[in-house]
Each structure stands twice: as structure tokens, then as C-alpha cells.
Structure 1
């Protein structure tokens, strides 16, 4: 596509230069790119960056045009817009040939359960012979091909979203499952997309208030996914549910059209009777955690509404291999080691309660709290750790530019007020090794907070990180590297 064609919908005449890409990150600019200068997001804990300040860097790296919100005079074509984020999404959609028009989009949002529900729904579609793409926190899939996730966000920026959808079209896939965060909706990373099915899994009003300000604003942002969907799949426990109902919908959970009965939780997973408008059947989901029933109901409801048979859905549930970093069992004996992404007080509480039910010995926890996020999370995590773990090792978790020691002291203070037993070990690898070395037969060690993530953010650096590899290294050092694994 040429610059002339790209800017034409905005009414700006430009030379017919070939556009090779577009980005809001000046570090990713290459010759032939269009740079979109986006104002930063104001948050309580830090001064935002502003993309306009990085225009000289983008030009030096070969940007052939710039988009921004200020009145500027530049040596390259400049498109001034009122909303740079919205413009970035529309430019990306145009640049990649509107790939969303050629795919059935299934969007998943919710405070918790997005990644598991999205991954499970993708698996159901694939198992039901409906080739699909998956864009999720835990990684990307183009049919059966797996790829690492893009960056540190649940939902990447608009150029990556539309570029991924374009590739899905080129692969001949018929659908795409998108995990859609409230940040993505608020910051217009998915602007321009409409969904055949939109799934709203859960809502916790105290999450992400550093960005949204109030629980009401947070809910309204998530509700945008439902408003842009032809069919809404909704949890009956959602607050303000009636506000979402004046549109085609399918309810799951107690009192809904899709619901589970007789839930039994064992060491191998969940068993229940699945009731739906398409019939009922006995279901098995090889995942730990009673809370995964809601995720299974949400994915099943969406798959059935998309056109899969009940038989295919039941078969797909039984063959799901789980989600990396979501209650992932690294070792079973002589003590159990589990990795989970739990990084808020609520999600940590769910994880610890789940593991306590099947732990004969002690429950040891390695956890931290992210920097540049709502400080109230630290108090919640510290209190939950003290109440539900036998011993906690407080450590780093993406402290970014915040002082790590201050974060650890906040966690320890909250835990101490609850009378919890803890140690502070700033280095995460050292903390994991220490927890493993203290574990005994019958214990469970939970490594919480990082899950699937592949970087550890220290200061301004994003260092390579693999929680599972570190855990296995620690087990090997203890002479358990060849032990019994799942």
C-alpha cells in the first residue's frame, strides 16, 4: 500500500511512497514506516510518555510520514488528527486490508478467566474441525501452529492485532478468538472490530482502577465488547446484567441456559453434567480449580452458539491440555510444584484455596507485586498470603521503575498484620530455589504472579524469563530433575 492510499480516507494528499509498516513505538521504526505519535496514558504512579517527543528519533530511523495530535511542521507528510489512538487503529485496519471482514471473530473479556476461556474455546473450535486463530495473553495460535505472545500486554497494539488477523486470513482460517482486555478497549487497540460472539466471563469491581478510576467506568469499558457483538454470551453472576441484555444473548451459570450440575473436583480435574439448549451430557475437564467450571461453561456456550455439536464440545473439553502458567503442574512428587499467573489478591486467594484442598502437607508460596500498578494490590496479596499459605517468600515481580524494596516492605507489612510467616528474598530465582529447598513430601509449592510471561521487568529493562525453566533448574539442583512429572 502507498502512503497516498493510506492517508486518502483522512483527506490528506500524500506522495505514492510504499508503506512498509506503522507503529507507535519509535524503537520499532524502520525505513518506510509511518510513525503515529500517541500521547501517554496518565496514571497515578508515573508521568506518562508522549509519542510526540519521539518524532525526531522516528524520523532519524527512516519514518516516511508521521501522524499526531499537535500542530507541527515536519520534513515528511504529517497527518494531524484529534485522536491518535483511534487513527492508529483505523490506519492499521486499512493497511492490512480489513481482515476482520473475512473472519468470524469471537471476543473474550472479563476480570479473571479470559485467557483460560479463550484458549479453551480455540481448542474446542480446532477439535470440532473449525480452523481458528487465537490471540491471547498466553500466546498466539494460527490453527495448530503456536507462537509466543506479542509483548507484555494481554491484547497487543492495533497494528499487531490487525497484522495477526491478516495472517489468519492468509492461512485460510475461518475464525479468530481474541482475548480482549479493558486496557485494549479503553486504549482503542481493537477499535473497528465487531464480533460474531462476545463473551463476558467475570467482573471484579476492584481491578484496574488505576486506569479506569471507578468500578462503574471499568464495567462500562468491558461492556463495549458486548455492545460490538452480534451475540453476547454472559455470566449470570455479572453485575448490571440487565444493562447488557437488550440484545441477542446466551446466559451461562446458575439460572442460565448453559449450566453445570454435580461438580466433582479430583486430582485429575473437574467432572460435571453439562446442560445446554442443545442437550445435556457428562463432561470432564482436565484442569484444577472449581472456578474453571465458569470458564468451561463460557467456552462451551460460545462453541455451541458458533455451531459445534454437543458431542464435539464434550470431546473437546476432555482433551484440553490446559493453559501454560495457569495452575500448571510442573512436578507431582515427592512434592507438588504449580505455576499460576495469579497476581491480584482475589486470584491468589482462588489459587491457594484450590491447592489447599488437595495438599497433604504445607502450602508454600512465592509471590511479588508489580510496580507501576495500583498499590492496593500489594496489601491484598500480602494479607491473602498470610491467611492461606503456610509460608510465603516475597520477591520481585516486574517492579519496573518503582523501588523494589518498598514494594516488598508493603507486602511484608500486610502479611505481618495478619500474623503470617514470610521471608523477603528480592531475587526471584533465589526465592524459587529457596522455596523448593524447603519443600517436603506432600507439600505444594505455588509460584504465583508470572505464569506464562517471558520477561521480568527490572527498571527499564525487560529481561528474559521462563518461570517453568527456573523451577525445573531448581528441582534438578535438588536431585529431582528426573523425578515424576505430569
Structure 2
């Protein structure tokens, strides 16, 4: 596509130069790119960056045009818009040929359970004979092909979203499942997309208030997905449910049309009877945690509504291998080691309660709290760790530009108030080694907070990180130490 064609709908005459890409990150600009300058996101803990301050860098890197919100005179074509983020989405859709118009989309949002529900829904579509794409926190899939996630966000920026949908369509896939965060909705990363089916899994009002400000604003951001969906699949326990009743919808959970009855938790997973408007049957989901029942019901309801048969859904539930970094069991015996993404007080409490049910010995925890995020999380994580773990190793978790010592002290202060047993181990690898070294037969070691993530952010650096690899290394070292004992 040429710059002339790209800018035509916006009324700006531009030369017919070939456009190679679009970005809002000046560091990613290459020769032939269009740079879109957007104001940064104001957060309580830091001054926001402003893309307009990086226009000069973008030009040095080869930008052939700039889009922005200020009156500027530049040596390249400049498109001034009222809303840079909205323009970025519109330009991305046009640049990639509007793949969203030909590819049916299924969107999944919620405070917790988005990643598992998205991955399970993709699996159910595939088992139902519908080749599908998946864009989620834990990674990408084009049919059965796996790829690493794009960046550190649940939902990447608009150029990457539309580019991914374009590739999925070009490969002949018949649907795409998108994990959609409240950040993505509020910051217009998915602007212009509508969904054949939109799933609202859960809502916890105290999450992400650093961005949204109030629970009401947080809920409104997530509700945008429902408003853009042909059919809404809704948790029957959602607040403000009456606001959605006028829209086509399907409820799941207690009191809904799609229910799980007679739930039994086993060390291997969940057994229940699935009841739906399309019929019922005995179901097995090989995941730990009763809370995964809601994720299973949400994914099943969406798949059934999209046209997957009940038999394929039941088979798909039983064959699901889980999500990397979500209650992922690294070792089962002689003591259990589990990796989970739980990084808020609420999700950590659910993880610890789940593991307590099948732990004969002690429950050991490795956890931290992220920097440049809502500081209330530290209080909640510290309290939950003290109440539900037998011993906690507080450590780093993406402290970014905040002092790690201050974060650890906040965690310790909350744990101390609850009478918790803990150690402060700033280095995460050392904390994991210590916890595994201390574990005995029958214990469970939970490594919480990082899950699937492939980087560990220390100051301005994003260092390579693989929680599973570190855990396996620690287990190998522990075994060597045991074999070396006289």
C-alpha cells in the first residue's frame, strides 16, 4: 500500500511512497514506516511519555510520514488527528486490508480466567473442525502452530493485532480467538473490531484501578467488548448484568443456561456434568482448581454458540493440555512444584486454597509484587501469603524503576501483621532454589507471579526469563545434593 492510498480517507494528499509498516514506538521505526505519535498513559506512579517527543527519532530512523495530535510543521507528510490511538487502529485496519471484515472473531475478557478461557476456546474450535487463530497473553497460535506472545501486553497494539488477523486470514483459518484486556479496550488497541461471540468471564472491582481510576470505569472498559459482540456469553455472577439483558446473550454458571453440576475435584482435574441448551454429558477437564469450572463453562458456551457440536466440546475438554504458566505442574513427586501467573491477592488466594486441598505436607510459596503497578497489590499479596502459605519467600517480580527493597518491605510489613513466616530473597532464581531445597515429600512449592512470561524486568532492563527452566534447574540441583548426601 502507498502513503497516498493509506491517507486518502483522512483527506490528506500524500506522495505514492510504499508503506512498510506502522508503529507508535519510535524504537521500532524502520525505513518506509509511518510513525503515529500518541500521548502516554497517565498513571499515579510515573510521568507518562509522549510520542510527540520522539518524532525526531522516528524521522532519523526512516519514517516517511507522521501522524499526531499537535499542530506541527515537519519535513515529511503530517496527518493531524484528534485521537492518535483511534487513528492508529483505523490506519492499521486499512494497511492490512481490513481482515476483520472476513474473519469471524471471538473475544474473551475478564479480570481473571481470560488466558485459560481463550486457550480452551481455541482448542474446542480446533477439535470441532474449525481451524482457528489465537492471540493471547501466553502466546499465539495459527491453527496448531505456536508462537511466542507479542510484547509484554495481554493484547498488543493495533498494528500487531490487525497484522496477526491478516496472517490468519491469508492462511485460510476460519475464526480467531482474541484475549482482550481492559487496557486494550480503553487504549483503543482493538478499536474497529466486532465479535461474533464476546465472552465476559469474571469481574473483580479492585483490579487495574491505577489505569481506570474507579471500579465503574474498569467495568465500563470491559463492557465495551459486550457492546461490540453479536452474542454475549456472560458469567451469571457478573455485576450490572441487567445492563446487558437487552442484547442477545447466553449465561453460564449457576442460574445460567450453561452449567456444570456435581463438580468433583481430583488430583488429576475436574469432573462434572455439563448441561447446555444443546444437550448435556459427563465432562472431565484435566486442570487443577474449582475456579476453572467457570472457564470451562465460558469456553464451552462460546464454542457451542459458534457451532461446535456437543460431542466435540466434551472431547475437547478432556483433551485440553492446559496453559503454560497457569497451574502448571512441573513435578508431582516426591514433592509437587507448580507454576502459576497469580499476581494479585485474589488470584493468589485462589491458587493457594486450591493447592492446599491436595497437599499433605507444607505449602511453600515464592512470590513478589510488580513495580509501577497499584501498590495495594503488595498489601494484599503479603496478607494472603501469610494466611494461606506455611512459608513464603518474597522476591522480585518486575520491579522496573521502583526500588526492589521498598516493594519487599511492603510485602513483609503486611505478612508480619498477619503473623506469617517468610524470608526476603531479592534474587528470584535464588528464591526458587531456596524454596525447592527446603521442600520435603508431601510438600507443594508454588512459584507465583511470573507464569508464562519470558522476561524479568529489573530497572530499565528486560532480562530473559523462563520460570519453568529455573525450576527444573533447581530440581536438578536439589536431586544432585540429595544423591551426594552420605
Residues 2-24 of structure 1 show CA distances to partners (whole Å, capped at 9, x for unaligned) of 00000111100000000000000
1:32 aligns with 2:66: no
Q: Secondary structure at the match of 1:446?
A: strand
The alpha-carbon deviation at position 479 of structure 1 amounts to 1.8
CA distance in 2, matches of 1:473, 1:52: 45
Aligned match of 1:307: 307
Aligned match of 1:124: 124
Aligned match of 1:419: 419
1:222-233 matched pairs, under 5 angstroms: 222-233=222-233
The alpha-carbon deviation at position 394 of structure 1 amounts to 0.3
Aligned match of 1:321: 321
- So what's the TM-score if we normalise by structure 2? 0.99
Residues 31-58 of structure 1 show CA distances to partners (whole Å, capped at 9, x for unaligned) of 0000001100000000000001111110
1:419-438 matched pairs, under 5 angstroms: 419-438=419-438
CA distance in 1, matches of 2:234, 2:24: 34
Residues 162-195 of structure 1 show CA distances to partners (whole Å, capped at 9, x for unaligned) of 0000000011001000000000000000000000
Aligned match of 1:357: 357
Structure 1 vs Structure 2 CA RMSD: 1.1
CA distance in 1, matches of 2:108, 2:309: 21
Aligned match of 2:445: 445
CA distance in 2, matches of 1:99, 1:464: 33
Residues 317-373 of structure 1 show CA distances to partners (whole Å, capped at 9, x for unaligned) of 000000000000000011000000000000000000000000000000000000000
Residues 54-111 of structure 1 show CA distances to partners (whole Å, capped at 9, x for unaligned) of 1111000000000001111110000010100000000000000000111110000000
Aligned match of 1:68: 68
Q: Secondary structure at the match of 2:314?
A: helix
CA distance in 1, matches of 2:136, 2:385: 28
1:391 aligns with 2:387: no
Aligned match of 2:188: 188
The alpha-carbon deviation at position 481 of structure 1 amounts to 11
Contact 1:473 1:481 in 2 (8 A): no
Aligned match of 2:409: 409
The alpha-carbon deviation at position 314 of structure 1 amounts to 0.1
Residues 246-304 of structure 1 show CA distances to partners (whole Å, capped at 9, x for unaligned) of 11000000110000100000000000000000001000000000000000000000000
- So what's the TM-score if we normalise by structure 1? 0.99
Contact 1:102 1:174 in 2 (8 A): no
CA distance in 2, matches of 1:102, 1:460: 41
Q: Which runs of 5+ in 2 are unaligned?
A: none
Q: Secondary structure at the match of 1:479?
A: helix
Aligned match of 1:371: 371
Aligned match of 1:207: 207
Aligned match of 1:263: 263
CA distance in 2, matches of 1:182, 1:408: 28
Contact 1:270 1:288 in 2 (8 A): yes
State the number of aligned residues: 483
CA distance in 2, matches of 1:194, 1:343: 30
- After superposition, the Cα gap between the structure-2 partners of 1:132 and 1:421, relative to the gap in structure 1 and judged at 3 Å, is same
CA distance in 2, matches of 1:304, 1:242: 23
Q: Secondary structure at the match of 1:196?
A: strand
The alpha-carbon deviation at position 149 of structure 1 amounts to 0.2
The alpha-carbon deviation at position 482 of structure 1 amounts to 13
The alpha-carbon deviation at position 419 of structure 1 amounts to 0.2
CA distance in 1, matches of 2:148, 2:154: 12
Aligned match of 1:100: 100
Would you identify which runs of 4 or more consecutive aligned residues in structure 1 move more than 2 Å?
480-483
CA distance in 2, matches of 1:227, 1:482: 58
Residues 373-396 of structure 1 show CA distances to partners (whole Å, capped at 9, x for unaligned) of 000000000000000000000000
Aligned match of 2:23: 23
Aligned match of 1:295: 295
